[in-house]
Amino acid sequence: MSTDRKSALGGGIFGTTPRHKVPSTPRSPRERERVEFDAKSPTSSKNSETHCDESNSDECFHESSSSVSTPQLETEEFHSQTLEKVIRTARNQTYRLGLGYFVVRNRRPSEMELSAEDRDGIERSSFAQEAPWNSVPEDRVGVKSLKEFLGKLIYEQIRNDIPQLQSEIEAHIQKIDASLREIGNPSTSTLEQNLFVPEVEVKAREITDEAFHSRYENEIFTECENLKLRQHARASNKKLSEAFIKYRNNRAFSSVLNSRNNEDGDGGEYN
């Protein structure tokens, strides 16, 4: 093979054999293993052939019978493989998702001031004309297609959730209606509505009078223990008397009405 032919193929001989063999010491097993590894390296050309004379380390040359890989070719091949993977993913053929994928185009700096309609038009024409993006289904490219898909998805979700939400609202209304009936019948007439406030005032006065006189037969005192005013006053007085007997004048009153509830005011507990 002539030198011109090899140059045309992009190959060549890297290191030539010497004109006269010079005696040299044999390679060690480890050095021979390294030579064999270099000869089988994946970075070499696809159709390359390595010739080595094991008896003489100087008689080793590498001849290529096909194109030699260059950084530019490797970059283009890597870009092509990466783009192919992206297209397969966009078609939902690699990492499958239930809702699939959408491909959108980023705006260029000169397109930042464009309206949404102009942006959609440029994006649509770009995906329709440029390969390999034109192989992706039209309903899976562009911001407009993504908006339409999400709109339908949200609509279906709401349509499925409304019946359940409606039943929950109706159940809550029934619960509130039942609690209102326990208070009493609704005031439908004007007279009943006018008498409602005086009736509430009379009931409140009766409850207050019963609390001051320790008459706790009314059901409201069972439901709300805090309304038993005289009972709580006697219990507090007993507690204070026992504290005076035990500690005498060695303890002082706190500056709050109830230190446990942090109620500000004059007077307070005996601590």
Rounded CA gap, 206 and 234, in Å?
A: 22
CA distances from residue 55 to 29, 58, 60 in whole angstroms, order as listed: 12, 9, 10
Residues 6 or more apart whose CB falls under 8 angstroms from that of 217 comprise 210
Note whether 24 and 58 are within 8 A (CB): yes
In whole angstroms, what is the distance from residue 210 CA to residue 216 CA? 7
Which pLDDT tens digits describe the chain residue by residue (271 residues)?
443 433 333 332 233 333 444 445 555 555 554 444 444 444 444 443 334 444 444 443 333 333 444 556 656 666 677 878 888 888 888 888 888 888 888 888 888 888 888 888 888 888 888 888 888 888 888 888 888 999 999 999 998 888 888 899 999 999 998 888 887 777 788 888 888 888 889 989 998 888 888 888 888 888 888 888 888 888 888 888 888 888 777 766 665 555 455 544 444 455 5
8 Å CB contact between 66 and 47: yes
CA distance 168 to 165: 5
Is 25 strand, coil or helix? coil
Beta bridge partners of 141: 103
Confidence (pLDDT) at 132: 82
Helix axes 190-212, 229-247, angle to 10 degrees: 30
- Residue that is written with structure tokens 């999400």 in the block: 150
Break the chain into its structural domains and give their ranges.
Answer: 3-18+25-69, 72-143, 190-226, 228-264
pLDDT at 173: 94
CA dist 84 and 18 (Å) reads 47
